[in-house]
Amino acid sequence: QVHLVESGGGLVQPGGSLRLSCAVSGLTFSILNMSWYRQAPGEDREFVAVISASGLTTNYADSVKGRFTISRDNTKNTMYLQMNSLKPDDTAVYYCYVREVPSQRTWWGQGTQVTVSS
């Protein structure tokens, strides 16, 4: 059975930092391309960052470049999103999304709330 469990969300002041985690079970972690998406109230879900199965390639939305860092630990079956210099506009539910290579099957996590407010 496949499980994606996000954690690390919470309330933080503008300029603060949080680190999100996405723990994966039931899949072969090393063949997963992994991403973070987010959805603010009343908005569509949007791409935040992606990391390749090898961990060698990353890509970011323009809105988070230079502030967020995506990474993965294949020994722990966990992906991370380090978020620095947080802004109120970063407030959203953050979702883990994985795509299996080469089957292209996909899964979503349940989401974790990030609120940036003073």
Q: Which amino acid is at 36?
A: W
Q: Are 116 and 90 in contact (CB under 8 A)?
A: yes
Mean per-residue pLDDT, 79-85:
98
Say if residues 81 and 68 touch (Cβ distance below 8 Å). yes
Q: What percent of the chain has pLDDT over 90?
A: 94
Residue 30 has pLDDT above 90, yes or no: no
The DSSP call for residue 13 is -
Q: Look over the chain and give the mean of its residue pLDDT values, rounded to a whole number.
A: 96
Residue 3 has pLDDT above 90, yes or no: yes
Give the pLDDT score at 23: 97
pLDDT in tens, 43-78: 999 999 999 999 999 999 999 999 999 999 999 999
